[in-house]
């Protein structure tokens, strides 16, 4: 019997693509409209009254009255909402709080409102529809799809549901996907991540899995458990698996390992979701970068990362950005976040349309000696070093060694290898040269004999998972920083005897 689902999926994909072209072709107009709507709605809130929204007509007015805030600075307002007060950051009360683990403030409670919730769901759906529209591939809709995510069990406080973002989104799976979706509700509710992965393996093994989605580090663990149980490649177990959907971290450092676990190449779609909003998704298979969502109740500002810590850095709107510059992304949203620093840095790969890549975290960098090395640079250096070799990486993180026992200071790379290089010294040299070619400050410090070239410390297999487990952050939306400006994480590796 011929299934109608793939045909209907292609028709739906075409309709959504055409609908979105309205704002894709008029991006500045779309953002101006969002800005006006946000200010109009925000006028009657406590935040709006405190910040003179009645006087705000332009972006310059907004800059004048509304300073940039991170979560710590916004926290007094959030705590009023958590306590049950209405009309604080947005009209009424949020319907959810996405609970995230903050690095300095303990748990963060990010509001999600009736107005903001649809964009979290629609953007993920549209990413798949854009893929169908571009490639014509829609047969996968007949198979099973897995979305590795947090528990959908929610708590409630003052009428507001509280949980992990991925657990909240689990309540919004479209009806037409529910029969195809795994894991089961019961398995999804398992809190312990390792127990959950084992249960997912048992549920999915007999199924025709066609789409697998999740943060690469979680999916890697799932693939490894599948292979350990069966002795087979994932692509052999799931012959129709041809689409991997991921977000949260850069996939490139994992690509070689994944292709080895799968046994072949599969198409992939990159997403840029966060508790604060669903910002972008990959709209073209052959293009670098993700399409920035400009019509989803999100107004964007950008500050050049190099100037971010100046006393009054320039806040740009979309019309002022340039390709290849590292920006801190600031958002205002219909969830009641205003000039909010989400902590990410992005670079535009295109302005027609506006596409971005996530280049790192403004707090995650190494500048112990003025080199200001960012996440994108270490990931690209690793990618370039791995490419011509048979080396496969499971995970890595980088930290400065400021006071070595002998010699000059250096960057220490802690790497968990799936497949080690024959010559570790040559591999380290290849990474170092790739990093020097990207970062002129780092190059100057090496050439000026302020730093010596990087050194590699090998991490035991499973070491990164063991570390995350030790700090209570295995699974969920947790991921290890790619680099740090101190040695707290890497010293824990040594304390836990996770290095060779």
pLDDT digits (tens, 9 = 90+) for 91-134: 999 999 998 865 444 678 999 999 999 999 999 999 999 999 99
**Per-residue model confidence (pLDDT) at position 1:** 52
The answer to whether residues 424 and 349 belong to one domain is no
**Per-residue model confidence (pLDDT) at position 104:** 43
Write the DSSP assignment of 207-246 as a string of letters: S-EEEEES-HHHHHHHHHHHHHHHSS-HHHHSTT--EEEE
Domain count of the chain? 2
Q: Is the pLDDT of residue 400 over 50?
A: yes
pLDDT band at 255; cut points 50, 70, 90: confident
pLDDT band at 20; cut points 50, 70, 90: very high
Residue 386 CA to residue 322 CA, distance in Å, equals 30
The overall longest dimension of the chain from CA atoms, in Å, is 72
Domain contains 181: no
% of the chain surpassing 90 pLDDT:
70
Domain contains 351: yes
CA distances from 484 to 147, 442, 481 (A): 30, 16, 7
The answer to whether residues 386 and 285 belong to one domain is no
Write the DSSP assignment of 394-422 as a string of letters: EEEEEEEESS-SSSS-EEEEEEEEEE--S
Last residue within a domain, chosen from 332, 361, 390? 361
Q: 2-16, 264-278, 410-424, 449-463: lowest mean pLDDT where?
A: 2-16
Cβ neighbours of residue 304 closer than 8 Å, sequence gap 6 or more: 313, 314, 325, 326, 327, 328
The answer to whether residues 414 and 285 belong to one domain is no
Domain contains 185: no
Q: Could you read off the pLDDT of 314-333 as tens digits, one per residue?
A: 999 999 999 999 999 999 99
The answer to whether residues 424 and 304 belong to one domain is no
Residue 416 CA to residue 109 CA, distance in Å, equals 33
The answer to whether residues 449 and 385 belong to one domain is yes
Domain contains 188: no
The answer to whether residues 376 and 316 belong to one domain is no
The answer to whether residues 233 and 305 belong to one domain is yes
Domain contains 187: no
The answer to whether residues 410 and 320 belong to one domain is no
Residue 274 CA to residue 437 CA, distance in Å, equals 32
Residue 417's domain spans which residues?
A: 365-495
The answer to whether residues 312 and 388 belong to one domain is no
Last residue within a domain, chosen from 324, 342, 361? 361
The answer to whether residues 34 and 144 belong to one domain is yes
Positive or negative, the CA dihedral 52, 55, 61, 62 is positive
Bridge partners, 269 (sequence order): 245
Question: Among 428, 439, 438, 311, which residue's Cα sits nearest to residue 370?
Answer: 439
Residue 9 CA to residue 169 CA, distance in Å, equals 21
The pLDDT of 18-32, averaged and rounded, is 97
Q: What is the CATH number of the domain that holds 446?
A: 3.30.300
Q: Could you read off the pLDDT of 191-211 as tens digits, one per residue?
A: 888 888 899 999 999 999 999
Residue 180 CA to residue 478 CA, distance in Å, equals 27
Question: Count of CB atoms within 10 A of residue 132's CB?
Answer: 22
Domain contains 184: no
The pLDDT of 281-305, averaged and rounded, is 96
Domain contains 471: yes
The answer to whether residues 377 and 249 belong to one domain is no
Bridge partners, 399 (sequence order): 412
% of the chain surpassing 70 pLDDT:
98
**Per-residue model confidence (pLDDT) at position 103:** 44
Q: Is the pLDDT of residue 337 over 90?
A: yes
Last residue within a domain, chosen from 361, 388, 417? 361
Instruction: Give the three-state DSSP class for 486.
Output: coil
Q: What is the CATH number of the domain that holds 149?
A: 3.40.50
**Per-residue model confidence (pLDDT) at position 374:** 84
The pLDDT of 371-388, averaged and rounded, is 90
Positive or negative, the CA dihedral 385, 391, 396, 397 is negative
The answer to whether residues 285 and 424 belong to one domain is no
Domain contains 88: yes
Q: Could you read off the pLDDT of 36-82 as tens digits, one per residue?
A: 999 999 999 999 999 999 999 999 999 999 999 999 999 999 999 99
pLDDT band at 396; cut points 50, 70, 90: very high
Q: Could you read off the pLDDT of 360-370 as tens digits, one per residue?
A: 888 777 878 87
**Per-residue model confidence (pLDDT) at position 485:** 81
Cβ neighbours of residue 168 closer than 8 Å, sequence gap 6 or more: 96, 98, 112, 120, 152, 154, 161
- Would strands 298-304 and 96-101 be described as parallel, antiparallel, or unpaired? unpaired
Dihedral angle at the C-alpha atoms of 411, 412, 418, 421, nearest 10 degrees?
70
Cβ neighbours of residue 358 closer than 8 Å, sequence gap 6 or more: 250, 272, 344, 345, 346, 376
Q: Is the pLDDT of residue 2 over 80?
A: no
**Per-residue model confidence (pLDDT) at position 303:** 97
**Per-residue model confidence (pLDDT) at position 499:** 94
Say if residues 210 and 142 touch (Cβ distance below 8 Å).
yes
Say if residues 98 and 165 touch (Cβ distance below 8 Å).
yes
Average model confidence (pLDDT) for the chain? 91
Question: Among 479, 465, 463, 464, which residue's Cα sits nearest to residue 101?
Answer: 479
Q: Could you read off the pLDDT of 221-234 as tens digits, one per residue?
A: 899 999 999 999 99
- Would strands 455-458 and 290-292 be described as parallel, antiparallel, or unpaired? unpaired
């Amino acid at each position: 019997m011929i299934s109608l689902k793939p045909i209907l999926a292609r028709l739906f994909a075409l309709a959504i693509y055409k609908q979105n072209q309205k704002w894709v072709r008029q991006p500045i107009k779309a953002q101006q409209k969002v800005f006006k709507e946000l200010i109009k709605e925000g006028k009657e809130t406590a935040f709006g009254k405190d910040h003179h929204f009645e006087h705000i007509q332009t972006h310059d007015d907004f800059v004048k009255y509304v300073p940039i805030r991170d979560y710590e600075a916004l926290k007094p307002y959030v705590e009023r909402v958590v306590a049950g007060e209405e009309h604080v950051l947005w009209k009424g009360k949020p319907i959810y709080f996405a609970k995230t683990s903050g690095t300095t403030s303990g748990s963060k409670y990010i509001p999600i409102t009736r107005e903001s919730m649809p964009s979290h769901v629609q953007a993920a759906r549209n990413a798949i529809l854009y893929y169908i529209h571009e490639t014509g591939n829609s047969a996968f809709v007949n198979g099973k799809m897995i979305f590795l995510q947090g528990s959908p069990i929610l708590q409630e406080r003052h009428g507001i549901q509280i949980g992990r973002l991925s657990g909240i989104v689990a309540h919004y799976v479209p009806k037409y996907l529910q029969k195809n979706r795994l894991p089961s509700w019961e398995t999804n509710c398992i809190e312990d991540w390792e127990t959950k992965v084992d249960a997912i393996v048992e549920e999915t093994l007999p199924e025709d899995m066609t789409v697998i989605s999740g943060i690469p580090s979680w999916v890697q663990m799932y693939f490894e458990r599948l292979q350990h149980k069966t002795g087979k490649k994932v692509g052999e177990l799931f012959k129709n698996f041809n689409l991997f959907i991921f977000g949260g971290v850069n996939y490139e450092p994992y690509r070689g390992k994944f292709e080895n676990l799968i046994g072949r190449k599969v198409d992939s779609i990159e997403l840029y979701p966060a508790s604060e909003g669903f910002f972008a998704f990959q709209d073209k298979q052959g293009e670098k970068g993700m399409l920035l969502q400009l019509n989803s109740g999100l107004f964007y500002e950008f500050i050049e990362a190099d100037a971010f810590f100046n006393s009054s850095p320039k806040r740009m709107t979309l019309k002022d950005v340039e390709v290849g510059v590292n920006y801190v992304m600031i958002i205002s949203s219909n969830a009641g976040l205003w000039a909010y620093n989400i902590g990410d840095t992005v670079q535009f790969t295109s302005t027609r349309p506006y596409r971005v890549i996530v280049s790192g975290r403004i707090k995650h960098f190494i500048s112990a000696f003025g080199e200001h090395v960012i996440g994108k640079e270490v990931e690209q250096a690793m990618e370039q070093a791995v490419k011509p070799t048979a080396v496969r990486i499971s995970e890595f993180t980088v930290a400065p060694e400021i006071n070595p026992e002998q010699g000059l200071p250096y960057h220490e790379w802690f790497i968990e290898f799936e497949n080690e290089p024959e010559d570790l010294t040559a591999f380290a040299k290849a990474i170092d040269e790739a990093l020097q070619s990207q970062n002129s400050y780092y190059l100057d410090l090496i050439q000026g004999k302020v730093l010596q070239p990087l050194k590699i410390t090998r991490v035991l297999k499973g070491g990164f998972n063991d570390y995350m487990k030790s700090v209570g952050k295995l699974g969920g939306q947790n991921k290890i920083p790619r680099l740090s400006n101190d040695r707290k994480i890497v010293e824990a590796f040594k304390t836990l005897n996770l290095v060779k």
